[in-house]
Each structure stands twice: as structure tokens, then as C-alpha cells.
Amino acid sequence: MAQAAADTARTVILTVDDDPGVSRAVARDLRRRYGESYRIVRAESGESALEALRELKLRGDLVAVILADYRMPQMNGIEFLEEALDVYPGARRVLLTAYADTNAAIDAINVVDLDHYLLKPWDPPEEKLYPVLDDLLDAWRTSAYRPVPSTKVVGHRWSARSSDVREFLARNQVPYRWYSVEEPEGQRLLAAAGQDGQRLPLVITPDGTVLVEPEAPELAARVGLATMPTADFYDLVVIGGGPAGLGAAVYGASEGLRTVLVERSATGGQAGQSSRIENYLGFPDGVSGAQLTDRARRQAAKFGAEILTTREVTALEVNGAARIVRFADGSAIAAHSIILATGVQYRQLEAEGCTDLTGCGVFYGSALTEASSCQGHDVYIVGGANSAGQAAMYLSRFAKSVTLLVRGADLSASMSHYLIQQIEEAPNIAVRSHTVVHAAHGTDRLERLTLRHVAGGETEQVEAQWMFVFIGAAPLTDWLGDTVARDGRGFILAGPDLTADGRPPAGWELDRPPYHLETSIPGVFVAGDARAESAKRVASAVGEGAMAVMLVHRYLEQS
């Protein structure tokens, strides 16, 4: 019994109903019966319930049962449960429905693998609610999704290294529990690990291994991420795990190519850090970057693609028909073909003080693990493109206010129209045009910003604890050197861009011109944001990854 209580101590039963009265009544009945052993979480819309599930997932919490009302606006119960299936596939799913919707509930059994449906009203709960949930909880506890130990991270709240570890685990879909060194449980974990807290963060893996200030490769290997290739030679090596790379891995592996994807940090790239992508085909209600990334990663693995994490590529070489990829540790793998999908990274803000405060209030990208900590605070976002707009909308749910700092006159030059409309309608989001960050101030964390007006040069100081930076991106291609042709900004030239003057690129030895996405090396292709003049959109990156695989087949057939 003691073990059962320990197993369920942080396990959640979630209920969602758009009627506040019904929502409270369900939660009340659940707490009365299960409140001592389970956390009861309630939400009043499918969207807010999904956000709650994602936050629980990032923290490594477990969800045993999800109860959803069928008739909800924007996202009905079946649609919600289908989305929830991706976040917690092992949770038992219950649909609350009226008698008139019984057919819909029966259909849902096949759509979302529904475990049970309950007719409203469920009174008395002792007869109609509790027996059903008792059976479902018993089944969940004995399933493959029963509670398991999770990774624990102990660190300082305002520590760049602690922030990096949390972000790394979250982006790689590794459940973890965060403990501040200031709280009692953090101190207990330090004592159990025999540490005095001088060297942090401390990571305790599910098997009890203690890692002190771990580097990413060690951390990846210890939490179960693949870091070593299983072969020396492949049909296709995909370098980069953003949308283009994941798309290439899915299509390459599904079409019979022995495929390995190599990622230096976490799959998803910049898109994986997006809180909400609303213009991606097939997701009318939007999809988070983490959710899209997780689906794509699982899909690539299902087809047999290897996915290597924390492997930094340092060189690309040609040896006859083989294309050789060299890693930072000196090892190498070879392949018939390569797809370069290295993407881009956010440029660093050069304002005074920003470097020292990175990870301590200054963040590049969305840093979604920090969002809940912005509750009630004033947040500043630097940038005016889609990534900045998506972050502003997401952070506005937590922050007291969100201010977008834009160098230009307005957002129309670089942000999609739908995002501009959402920002204009959000009551706690403001846009300051012709404004840049002149300096960031603080000792252990960000405390103030000095803002400067571009035209007049006037400056002012504002109180600030959070700043998220999205100021354009640079391609991650410096490691290529002169191996493949690049433009003046470092983006990779391919296809027609290589033969604009009617002549083949220097060193080209084949009778045919380069294929559309083929670089200056035959058999080496580029897809996504690293390509010169690419569209810089998730859908186009995925499409280029798929197209690159088609061209790989054409290349292999003619080699």
C-alpha cells in the first residue's frame, strides 16, 4: 500500500468541461474520492487542457485518466482526446456526453481508442462514476505506462547552465523534475547524492546515476538518447534535425534507404521551440513545435531511421563515391548521399550586458521551460518576425504584460497577417516600433533594460526580468568551409543558383547540371533554412526534405 501511495503521489486525473459549473462539480466529486492519492486538475477548454498536459509532461508528471466533455466550442471532446493522445498515450480516456450524442461517443472508441463514455448526469457518483474510474485506474497502474522514476535536476533558478540542462531535456522530450537548490527537497537530493551544492546543476537519472555539471553528450547518453551510430556506412546521412531534416529522415527511411539523422542538440530546430504554429497545413487549431517535432521524430524512428543526438559535425569530405561526415570527437561515418539540413540559429544581441545575463533573464528563442515563471511579470521580446509573434502570444498567457521591441516601423514587413491581428487584439501585448535594446543590467539576473529610439537616439530605462530575443538568423554552415559553394552570408547554393551563368560549378565532374537541391558536390543536397533564398517556413522546409530524398533516389540510380 505504501508503494502504491508513493506511485500515485504526483499522478494526475484531468477533467475538462467548458461549463464552469459542470467543471467544478466533476472536480469536486473526483477530489472527494481520489484527492488523497491523485492530483485533480481541471480545465474549461480543450486548448487550456492541452497546455496543462504539456506543462505536466515537461515536468515529468504522470497522467492516469483524462475526462473530457463532448460538446465544447473550438475543440470538441473527441478532438481534444485525439490531441491528448500524443502527449500522454497511456492515459485512460473517458468522454462525458449527453444521451443524444451517444453515437458520437461510440464512434470515438475507434477514433481515439476511447476507454469509456459516461452519460451526464453521473449522479450518484458512487454508482455511475467511481466504479468506472476505479477500474480504469487499476488498469493504468498495471499497464506499460505505470509510474516510473524520472530524471531529477537540482540547480539555481538564475543559472545559465541550469537553464541549458532544463531546455535540453525538455526539447528532447525527456521527462524530468526540477528542484531549486533553495527548496528543502533540492537540499535533500543534494545530501543523498553526497554533494554540497558548489557545483550545479546536479542531474539524477532514473537509475540513480548522479551527474554533476554534465555536458550535453554525457547527459544525452545517460537519459537514453542515442548518441552513437550503429554502422559505418549508410545510404543517406541527414545532418540537422529541424523540420527539413526530420522530413528527409521520414521519407528516406520509409522508402528503404538506410538513414541516419545527426543532430547537435535537439530535434525540432527553431520550429521545435515555437509555442504555436497556426499556418501549418492540416492543423486548423495550430500545433506546438514540440508536438510536431515529437510526432515527426517518432514517425522517423517507426520507419527505421537512426536519430543521433549531441553529435557535432565538423567536416564533410569526398572519397570517391563515398561522402564522409566527420565528428568533433574524431570519429566518422560515410554514406552514398548527404542531405544538409543544418538550419539557422538566432543572432546574438550585441547590446552591453546581454552576454553575461544569457540564461539569467536573457533568452534566445522561446525558452518554453521559463514561461510559467513569467507569471505576473513584465516581459520584453526583441524582434518582429513570426517567431517573436508566436512567443508573444504564448507568453501573454502568463505575463502581466508583453512588449515587442521592433527596429522597423511596424510588424507588417516580416510577420504573418494572422499573427499581427492576434497581437493587436491581445490586451496585454504592446508594440514599440523604432526601438532597440541599448544595454541590459543586473547582477545575478536581468533587472533593467536601457532602450534606445532608432531615429532620435533617446534612451530610457525600464524594469525588466525577462527578455526573449528573435533578431534574425545566421546559417549553421561555417563548418563546411570551402567544401560546398555558399553565398556571401553563408547560405548554401544549390541547383539553379549554381548555374546562373550557364556554367557548371567549379569542380563539377558530371555531364548533367546539378539537380534542384543539389549542392556543388554531386550527391550532397541541401534542404530548409540553410539553403540560399529558402522560404523560411516550416511547411516549405518539410517539403524540401521530402524533395531532397526524391533527388537522392535519382542520384543513386544514375551513380
The answer, yes or no, to whether residue 529 has pLDDT greater than 60, is yes
The answer, yes or no, to whether residue 427 has pLDDT greater than 50, is yes
User: Could you tell me if 130 and 16 lie in one domain?
Assistant: yes
- Tally of domains within the chain: 4
The mean pLDDT of 251-264, rounded to a whole number, is: 97
User: Could you tell me if 69 and 98 lie in one domain?
Assistant: yes
User: Could you tell me if 261 and 337 lie in one domain?
Assistant: yes
Q: Report the percentage of the chain scoring pLDDT > 90.
A: 64
The answer, yes or no, to whether residue 265 has pLDDT greater than 60, is yes
**Amino acid at the residue 395:** L
In CATH, what number is assigned to the domain containing residue 157?
Answer: 3.40.30.10
pLDDT digits (tens, 9 = 90+) for 306-318: 999 999 999 999 9
Which range is least confidently modeled, 198-207, 274-283, 372-381?
274-283
pLDDT digits (tens, 9 = 90+) for 29-77: 999 999 999 999 999 999 999 989 888 875 668 899 999 998 888 888 8
In CATH, what number is assigned to the domain containing residue 538?
Answer: 3.50.50.60
User: Could you tell me if 314 and 245 lie in one domain?
Assistant: yes
User: Could you tell me if 35 and 123 lie in one domain?
Assistant: yes
| Residue 353 placed within a domain | no
Residue predicted with more confidence, 215 or 284: 215
User: Could you tell me if 455 and 526 lie in one domain?
Assistant: no
160, 165, 168, 174: CA torsion to nearest 10 = -150
- The CB density around residue 96, as the number of other CB atoms within 10 Å, is 24
The answer, yes or no, to whether residue 8 has pLDDT greater than 90, is no
Q: Tell which of 471, 498, 528 closes a domain.
A: 471
pLDDT band at 102 (very low <50, low <70, confident <90, very high): low
Cβ neighbours of residue 284 under 8 Å, at least 6 residues apart? none
User: Could you tell me if 118 and 136 lie in one domain?
Assistant: yes
pLDDT digits (tens, 9 = 90+) for 119-164: 877 888 898 899 999 999 988 988 765 545 679 999 998 888 999 9
Residue 534 and residue 236 in contact, taking contact as beta carbons nearer than 8 Å: no
User: Could you tell me if 60 and 131 lie in one domain?
Assistant: yes
The answer, yes or no, to whether residue 540 has pLDDT greater than 90, is yes
| Residue 352 placed within a domain | no
The answer, yes or no, to whether residue 485 has pLDDT greater than 70, is yes
pLDDT digits (tens, 9 = 90+) for 75-86: 888 889 888 887
- The CB density around residue 440, as the number of other CB atoms within 10 Å, is 25
399, 276, 65, 373: CA torsion to nearest 10 = -20
Q: What is the pLDDT of residue 57?
A: 73
User: Could you tell me if 116 and 258 lie in one domain?
Assistant: no
| Residue 219 placed within a domain | no
Triad 360, 365, 366: Cα angle to 5°: 85
| Gap between the Cα atoms of 328 and 489, Å rounded | 24
| Residue 223 placed within a domain | no
Q: Tell which of 141, 167, 182 closes a domain.
A: 141
| Residue 405 placed within a domain | yes
pLDDT digits (tens, 9 = 90+) for 172-204: 988 888 999 998 888 988 888 889 999 999 999
Q: Give me the domain span that covers residue 84.
A: 2-141
The mean pLDDT of 284-311, rounded to a whole number, is: 91
The answer, yes or no, to whether residue 361 has pLDDT greater than 90, is yes
The mean pLDDT of 248-259, rounded to a whole number, is: 98
In CATH, what number is assigned to the domain containing residue 70?
Answer: 3.40.50.2300
The answer, yes or no, to whether residue 2 has pLDDT greater than 60, is no
pLDDT band at 456 (very low <50, low <70, confident <90, very high): confident
pLDDT band at 109 (very low <50, low <70, confident <90, very high): low
* Nearest in space to 424 (alpha carbons), one of 448, 443, 396: 396
In whole numbers, what is the pLDDT of the chain averaged over residues?
90
Residue predicted with more confidence, 308 or 88: 308
Q: Tell which of 452, 471, 490 closes a domain.
A: 471
| Residue 437 placed within a domain | yes
| Residue 225 placed within a domain | no
User: Could you tell me if 464 and 481 lie in one domain?
Assistant: no
User: Could you tell me if 330 and 381 lie in one domain?
Assistant: no
User: Could you tell me if 456 and 489 lie in one domain?
Assistant: no
Peptide bond into 89 cis (omega under 30): no
| Residue 423 placed within a domain | yes
